[in-house]
Amino acid sequence: MCYRIPVKMKFENILEEIDGFGSFQLITIVLLCAPRIVLPCHFLLNNFIAASPPHHCDISSLGDGGLFRNLSEEQRLTVSLPVRDDGPESCEMFAEPQFQLLANSSNRTGLRTVHCRSGWVYDNSTFTSTLATEWNLVCERRSLTQTTGTIFFLGVMIGGIAFGFFSDKYGRKNTLLASYIMATVFGFCSAFANSYVVFAVLRFLTGFGLTGISIIAIVLSIEWVDTDHRSFIGVIGSLSWSVGNMLLAGLAFLVNDWRSLIMTVTAPLGFAILTWWWIPESARWLLAHGKVEKAKFYLDRCAKLNKRHKLSPKLKLETLSTIERQDTNYTYLDLIKTPKMRRLTLLMGIVWYGVASTYYGISLNISGLGLNMYLTHFIYAAIEVPAKLMVFCFLNIIGRRKCQAGTLLLTGTCIAINIFLPQDLWHVRIVIAILGKGLSEASFTTVFLYTTELYPTVVRQNGLGYTIFVSRLGVSVAPLILLLEDVWTLLPQVIICSVAIVSGLVALLLPETLKEKLPETIEDIEKPKLLNNTRKPRCGNVLAPSGGSVEVDTK
C-alpha cells in the first residue's frame, strides 16, 4: 500500500541543479580568506605586543655622587641591584648603594631593598617597544598586560551575541560589511592610543568588530555548498587561520614596535572591504525571509559561474517562496524554548567553552616550551595544517561527534602527560606539547563545522553567536588562568587539562550530522527522526521536485 505524503522542497535540491560545489563556491571561499587571515593576527597579537622584555630598576639618578659616577656600568649594577640566578632583580633595588659588594659580591644577605624609585631600563634587543615598555606594565602592574587580552576577548564575546542577532535579522552580507569597517577603524585607532585605558577600550571595540568576520564567514561558506562538501569547505576554509597564524610569527619578528605591528596586521582588512562587493548573500537566508527575487538573482549567478543552466522553469518564484520561508522573527530565546533546542544549546555551550579555553590556554603560553618565542609560535601555527588535513579525513569517516570528542580528549591527555613528565625530558615534552596544540586546533576546526550543521537556518547565526559568547568567556579567563602559575606552577595546566576532558565527554552526548541535510527550522530539530527503511520505495519518486508529494511503500 502506498500513501502520498506532502513534502517541502529543500534548498539542497536546488544546489543539486546549479552545482553545490563549483567555481561560485570556490570564489566565495577565496574572497572570505583575506579577512580570516587577519583573525589569528589579532586574536594572538597579545603574545607579542604585551611581551615583557628583561628589565631592571633605572639607577641613572644615583650617578650624582662623585664615587658612583666613576664606576663602570657593571659595577653600578652590582652595588645597586640584588641578583637572582638569571640576572639582576627586575623589581627591586638596594635602599642605599652597597659599595662593599665590589670587594665581596657574594655577601648579599640581610641587605634592605625597596621597589624601583625611578622607573625601569628595558632590554630592547628583541622588541623596540611593547605595551609593557610603553606604560611600565611590569612588576606589580604586570597583570595589566594579560588583562588587555582579556579585555579584547570580552569584546569578541559581546560581539558574538550582537553579530549573531544582526546577521540573522539583517542578512549575512550587510552585517559582514559592518564587521569589516568596525574592525578596520578601531584596529588602526588602537595603534595611536595615548594611554592604557584608551588602548584597552579600542581593543575591546576591535574584538567586537572582528567577531562578525569570525562567525559570518564560516556560515556564509557552509550555506552555499552541498551536503557532501561541507566538511571540505569548513576545513579548507579554516586553513586561512593557520596561514595567518604562521604569518603573525614572521610579521612580529620583522616589526618590533607594537604600534607598527597592529597597523600591519590590520591592513589586509582594507582589501577585504574592496572585495566585499563580490561576496554573495546567503540564498538560504533570503528565502527564509521571503526575499525570493534577490535569492533567485544569486542562484542564477551561481548557476552561471558553475556552468550550469539557470533554474528550470518549474522552479518559479512561487515555488521558491515555499522553500525555507519563515514568518517569525527568531531571537536568542528560541534557542531554549523547546526541549531539544534547549539541550543542544546547553551541550554546545559546554563544548565551545572547552574548545576555546583549551586552544588559547596553549596558544597564549608560547614561553612554556623554553624556545625562542617566534619559533614556538610558528611551530604551534604550522602544526595546525596537518592537524586540519587529518581531521578532514576523519570527519567523513568516523563522523563529527567522534572527531569532536576524540580531539578534545586527546588534547587533555597530552596536557596531562606533560604535567607528569620530568623537566629534563624536554625533547619529549616539546613533542607532546606540539601534538596537543595540533589536536586543540583540530577540535576548533571541527566545532565550527559541527555547530553550523547542528543549528537550523532560522537561528543558525544566533546559535553560533551564542556559542561564540560562551567560548570567549572561556578565552577571556585563559590569560588570567596562566597567572595562577604564581600560586602553583602546574595549576594552569591542571585546569586546562580538566576542562578539555570534561568538554570532550560532553561532546559524546551530541547528535551526529554526517551526511545529514542542514536543518532549516526549529521543527526540523524537534521532530522525531523518521525510521530509516533499508528497502527502496516500490512506487513513485522519492523526491517531488516541485515541492509536491512522495509515495512511500508501507508494506
The C-alpha atoms of residue 95 and residue 118 are separated, in whole angstroms, by 13
**Is 245 within the bounds of a domain?**
yes
In a domain, 211, yes or no: yes
The verdict on residue 403 lying in a domain is: yes
Q: 3-state DSSP call for residue 257?
A: strand
Residue 482, domain member (yes or no): yes
Structure confidence at residue 554 as a pLDDT band (50, 70, 90): very low
pLDDT beyond 60 at 542: no
506, 349 Cβ separation under 8 angstroms: no
Residue 385 structural domain: 8-52+135-507
DSSP label at residue 326: -
In three-state secondary structure terms, 117 is coil
Give residue 530's pLDDT.
44
**pLDDT of amino acid 540:** 40
Alpha carbons within 13 A on the beta-carbon side of 486: 7
**H, E, C per residue of 432-460:** HHHHHHHHHHHHHHHHHHHHHHHCCHHHH
Provide the mean pLDDT of the chain. 82
Is the predicted pLDDT of residue 536 greater than 60, yes or no? no
Please tell me the predicted confidence (pLDDT) of residue 417: 92
Residue 526 covered by a domain: no
Using CA atoms, how far apart are residues 138 and 467, in angstroms rounded to an integer?
34
pLDDT tens-digit map of 292-317: 888 888 988 999 999 887 766 555 55
Number of Cβ within 10 Å of residue 73's Cβ equals 8
Is 60 exceeded by the pLDDT of residue 455? yes
**Beta strands at 2-6 and 55-57: parallel, antiparallel or unpaired:** unpaired
Higher local confidence (pLDDT), 88 or 473: 473
The predicted pLDDT at position 136 comes to 87
Q: Is the pLDDT of residue 38 over 50?
A: yes
Enter the pTM of the model: 0.76
Q: At which residue does the C-alpha cell 561532546 appear?
A: 507
Measured CA to CA, the distance from residue 436 to residue 439 in angstroms comes to 5
- List, for residues 51-82, the tens digit of each pLDDT value: 888 888 887 766 655 556 667 777 777 777 78
Domain for residue 123, yes or no? no
- Name the pLDDT band for 366 (thresholds 50, 70, 90): low
Is 173 contained in some domain? Answer: yes
State residue 474's pLDDT score: 81
Is 125 a member of any domain?
Answer: no
- How many domains is the chain built from? 1
Give the CATH number of the domain where residue 204 resides: 1.20.1250.20
Question: Which of the four pLDDT bands, split at 50, 70 and 90, describes residue 404?
Answer: very high
pLDDT digits over 197-252, tens only? Answer: 999 999 999 999 999 998 888 888 888 888 788 778 877 777 888 899 999 999 99
pLDDT attached to residue 2: 42
Instruction: Quickly state the pLDDT bin for 355 (edges 50, 70, 90).
Output: very high
Taking residues 522-531, report their average pLDDT.
72
β-pair partners for 552: 3
Give 88's Cβ-side CA count (13 Å radius). Answer: 26
pLDDT in tens, 319-352: 665 555 555 677 888 899 999 999 999 999 999 9
pLDDT at 553: 34
